[in-house]
Structure 1
Amino acid sequence: MAARPPPPLPDEIVEEILVRVPPDDPARLVRAALACKRWRRLVSGPSFRRRFREVHPTPPVLGFLRSGVDADGGGGGTVRFIPAWSSRRPRADRRAGWRALDSRNGSVLLHSDPCRPWHDPAGAPALAVWDPVADELRELPALPDFPGVYAFKAAVLCAECCDHLNCRREPFVVVIVAARPAGSSAYLYTSEADAWSEPTSAPHSVLLFEGKRSAHAGNALYFVFTHIVLMTAEGGGLGCLTIKGSGLHLWLWEADPNGDMRWAQSRVIEHETLVPEGAFVVSFDVVGFADGGGMVYLGTKDGFYIADLKSRCLRKAEGVNGMDEIMPYISFYTPGTPLLSL
């Protein structure tokens, strides 16, 4: 007489196993969801997403965004999403006529205004928020009172009401800081109202370097006015990356023993410890970072490299050249969100 099959594991045990699947390759959870209807029901539910975020508090880098010139030579820009996982491809990997300004929590802020001179009276650039995996594009209304702007910075953020279980389906905000010869202005867009606020202005003008992203720490956005890179450090604080000599210097904004806030050097990573054996990398520049994830993007004459500050490992970002702008794409994706076509 054949032995009875063992009883199935309780849902709670199966869920505790599946939440430990590494989040950096979403196709693994997709394959788990395809194993049977019961597993698909478990990994598609909100309780699984909540538990998944508890086990993996830092969203993974799922790929990066490359902004470059159209191949047809027409002068317009194209933004392309290059996934880090190799087993599946996104529904659409590019958007012609757009460039990436910022990316957070699975949303990419795009603009369609390529290299407009500061004195051009044409007005504000077109803006949109894109989900590159589901290929959903939401164009934003025109910015009010924008003529005369010679430079601007922008950021896309989750709205205050977002529970961070499915950020791409939750309300979001867009912040613009613009510089004019006569002063500076800040604009706020909310997806719930689908409208921009009236600009808040200051009489002093600032020099904005458009190639550097802002850092989000606490309830504040920090914009760079010099050739350094501000970043969201591990734990949500404010960090700063600089290159001095042959070293990559990491600084943290923290309180000293007297309670006064100051910049404190956290560590120095020497160039030789990052470069893999056999690679020819003489010098590099910090061109981007992943919020809170300990990943930085380095530009070299040989192309772009991704450096892990924790493991001190360096790998080359394939499919990118030195003329492109790159930006990490960070998000959680689990079955039950429009991730990939199954």
Structure 2
Amino acid sequence: ISPPETLAASTHPPTITITMPPTTPVPSLPEELLEEVFLHLPPDEPEHLVRASLASKLWLGLLTGARFRGRYRDFHGAPPMLGFLYTLPFLCSSPLSTDPRPHFVSTTKFAARIPDDLREYDAQDCRHGRVLLRYKMLFIWNPMTGCSTELPPSTEYMEAESSGAAVLCAVTGCDHRACHEGPFWVVFVYLDQDEGEGVCVASAAVLLSDSSKRSNGKWCEPCSRLDLVDDAFIEARPPVLIQDALHFMLRHYEDYRRVGILKYDLNSNCLSLIDAPLEGPVIDDAAVLMAMEDDSLGLAHVERLTLNLWSRQIGSHRVASWTQRAIVDLGNLLPIQNPKEDLELLGTVEGSDTVFVTTDMGIYEINLNSLRWKKLWKTDKFCALIPYMSFYNR
């Protein structure tokens, strides 16, 4: 038997020292391969880019770098629709405390909030990353940055009996896929009655922002006036931009079914009239101008459940004429509950042959080339639907 001292010593376990091999960092993918992976993240789901940028400082620097942003835009082409603005008929508008205007609806996780001081303003136009708002004044609002710019007042233009306005980038050579800052143009086209001549007179004024070398942020002198029939007015929808010309839809008070097109050329600073291809009466909200994918002027018209599409092409003798491009049976394409109810066209996406159609089942976005569609919003009575197109590049 061992002595007590030996037993006590044997109850303690022996000390074992384990030596771990030196750790090596997990190898990271080269930046070129990471970029290739990130390029395939869908632009209409910008939350994926945001989550990836939060993963590490390396990824954040890569995704926010100028090289990747440029490659991402080149890879995906046209910017996606991140949301839309809409306006309501005057009689359908609720009090501002419960139904403020203008309304902005995000179609992705992108969240834009209209500043409180602009909520009484109506959306006039949205293009090249900017929104043009109007109440008693004109404002430019940038949904990407949240910044707004008040434009110089012009009582003569603002008090016109009928008017339309547009905003567009003024940077020469810009591809307009990521522009939301820098100099911009605002075009204000307005109609007044000439009591002496008994006609309606159209004029246009242009403002260039302060950052442009061609202007100090003041309205230029109006262009030469154009005589119209005395009951004409400009439809309360954004114009469409074809190359360097804006096109506004014209209606008439005495015969609202008549349709015309008022063109303003930015290069020549002049107005002209274009006949519409429609024959016979056109019901309210059944026709809309389009900037077609081939850079031609288009017009879509819906009658009952049939949508007709025309485009204005330049012929061999340099004479422009309308050509019917497509006839689409919306009754076989969209879910429609009451086929006797008139359909309406609310707006378009410039350069994509896409229209917004409202039915008794909801508001739908339709590409007239592929005939692919998706439901955009519930059924509602909108005057106009104005898409906000941009890459999420904050």
The normalised TM-score by structure 2 is: 0.72
Residue 218 of structure 1: aligned partner: 243
Alignment partners' CA distance in 2, 1:70 and 1:136: 26
Among candidates 169, 189, 208, match of residue 207 of structure 2: 189
Residue 48 of structure 1: CA displacement? 1.8
What is the CA deviation profile of residues 238-266 of structure 1, one whole-angstrom value per residue up to 9, with x for unaligned ones? 22211245321222222345654322222
> Partners of 1:34 and 1:4 in 2: how far apart?
24
More moved, 230-239 vs 293-302? 293-302
Once structures 1 and 2 are overlaid, which stretch shifts more, 166-175 or 92-101? 92-101
The correspondence of residues 76-225 of structure 1 with structure 2, limited to 5 A, is 78-85=101-108, 87=109, 89-92=111-114, 95-112=118-135, 125-143=136-154, 145-146=156-157, 149-161=160-172, 163=174, 164=176, 166-182=178-194, 183-192=201-210, 193-205=216-228, 207-225=232-250
Per-residue deviation, 1:35: 1.9
The answer for the alignment partner of 1:116 in structure 2 is none
Q: What residue number does 1:292 align with?
A: 351
| Matched residue SS, 2:55 | coil
Distance 1:156 1:243 in 2: 28
Q: Secondary structure at the match of 1:208?
A: strand
Deviations 1:181-206 (A, max 9, x none): 12221111111332211111315136
- Tell me the residue number matched to 1:242: 301
Aligned to 1:58: 78
Q: Is the 8 A contact 2:187 2:204 kept in 1?
A: yes
Deviation at 1:147, TM superposition (A): 6.8
**Contact 2:300–2:308 (8 Å) recurs in 1:** yes
Q: 2:63 aligns with which of 35, 40, 43?
A: 43
Q: Which residue of 1 aligns with 2:326?
A: 267
Are residues 171 and 62 of structure 1, via their aligned partners in 2, closer, same or farther at CA, if it must alter by over 3 Å?
A: same
**How far 1:6 sits from its partner (Å)?**
7.0
- CA gap of 1:39–1:170, structure 2 versus 1, over 3 A, is same
Structure 2 residue identity aligned to 1:168 = H
Contact 1:15–1:48 under 8 Å retained in 2: yes
Equivalent residue in structure 2 for 1:67, among 76, 80, 87: 87
Q: Could you tell me which amino acid in structure 1 is paired with residue 322 of structure 2?
A: W
User: 1:98 deviation in Å?
Assistant: 0.5
Shift of 1:97: 1.0
Cα 1:2–1:289 shift into 2, 3 Å: farther
- Mapped to 2, the partners of 1:322 and 1:165 lie a distance apart of 31
Look up the match of 1:233. 292
Residue 161 of structure 1 aligns with an amino acid whose one-letter code is T
Over 3 Å counting, the alpha-carbon distance change for 1:235 and 1:22 in structure 2 is: farther
| Contact 2:73 2:177 (8 Å CA) reproduced | yes
Larger radius of gyration: 2
Q: Secondary structure at the match of 1:186?
A: strand
CA contact (8 A) 2:338 2:360 kept: no
Matched residue type, 2:95:
D
CA distance in 2, matches of 1:316, 1:153: 29
Quote the residue 1:119 is aligned against: none
C-alpha displacement of 1:324: 5.1
Provide the TM-score with structure 1 as the length reference.
0.82
Contact 1:162 1:171 in 2 (8 A): no
Stretch deviating more after TM superposition (212-221 or 245-254): 245-254
Matched residue of 2:187: which SS?
strand
Unpaired runs of 5+ residues, structure 2, are 1-20, 195-200, 211-215, 251-258, 260-281
Structure showing greater relative contact order (alpha-carbon pairs closer than 8 Å, 6 or more residues apart): 1
Aligned pair partner of 2:391 in 329, 332, 335: 332
Q: Is the 8 A contact 1:42 1:48 kept in 2?
A: yes
Letter in 1 for 2:292: A
> How far did 1:93 drift?
7.8
- The SS at the match of 1:170 is coil
The aligned amino acid for 2:334 is: V
